[in-house]
C-alpha cells in the first residue's frame, strides 16, 4: 500500500480524466448502454442528462496492485439520467480513470447500470463516498 501511495504522490501532476460528458465518453456510454438496454428490455435509449461530475483521488482498490510506473493517477465519478423512448429515466454511473503505464497515459471507462451492476449493490463502487 505504501508503494501505491508513494507512486501516486510523486506523479500528482498527471492529466485529469476527461469530463463526464466529454463527447468521446458520452458516445461510448450511449453505445454500450443503448445496446444492452435494447436487448434486455426493448426500450431505446434517447439521451443522457448530466447530474454529477466529481474529480477525486482514485479509490484505494483501484491502485491495490500499483507499481511505481503503473497506477491510476486520478478518477472522475459521473452520474446521469439515462432517458428512454418510453419517457422513463434511470440513473447510470461511471468512473473515468486516468492511468499511467510506464510513462504513457491512457483513459479507462467503467460503467454501472441496473443491467450491469456486477455486485448488485446499486453501483456503490461508482459513487464517491459510498
Tens of pLDDT along 35-66? Answer: 777 777 788 888 888 878 877 777 777 888 88
Higher pLDDT: 71 or 114? It is 71
What phi-psi label fits residue 125: left (phi over 0), alpha (psi between -120 and 50 degrees) or beta? alpha
What pLDDT sits at residue 13? 45
Assess whether pLDDT exceeds 50 at residue 12: no
Report pLDDT digits (tens) over 78-106. 989 888 888 988 888 888 989 888 888 88
What pLDDT sits at residue 27? 87
Q: What is the mean pLDDT of residues 68-81?
A: 88
Residue pair 37/31 in contact by the 8 Å Cβ criterion: no
Q: What is the mean pLDDT of residues 1-21?
A: 50
Task: Write down the domain spans for the chain.
Answer: 23-58+68-126
DSSP string, 2-36: HHHHHHHHHTTTSPPPPPTT-HHHHHHHHHHHHHH
Amino acid at each position: 500500500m505504501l508503494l501505491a501511495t508513494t507512486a501516486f504522490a510523486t506523479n500528482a501532476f498527471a492529466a485529469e480524466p476527461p469530463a463526464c460528458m466529454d463527447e468521446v465518453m458520452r458516445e461510448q456510454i450511449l453505445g454500450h448502454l443503448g445496446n444492452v438496454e435494447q436487448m434486455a428490455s426493448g426500450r431505446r435509449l434517447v439521451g443522457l442528462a448530466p447530474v454529477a461530475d466529481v474529480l477525486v483521488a482514485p479509490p484505494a482498490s483501484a491502485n491495490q496492485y500499483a507499481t511505481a510506473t503503473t497506477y491510476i493517477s486520478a478518477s472522475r465519478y459521473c452520474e446521469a439520467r439515462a432517458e428512454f423512448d418510453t419517457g422513463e429515466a434511470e440513473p447510470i454511473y461511471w468512473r473515468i480513470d486516468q492511468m499511467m503505464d510506464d510513462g504513457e497515459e491512457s483513459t479507462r471507462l467503467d460503467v454501472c447500470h441496473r443491467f450491469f451492476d456486477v455486485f448488485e449493490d446499486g453501483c456503490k463502487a461508482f459513487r464517491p463516498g459510498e
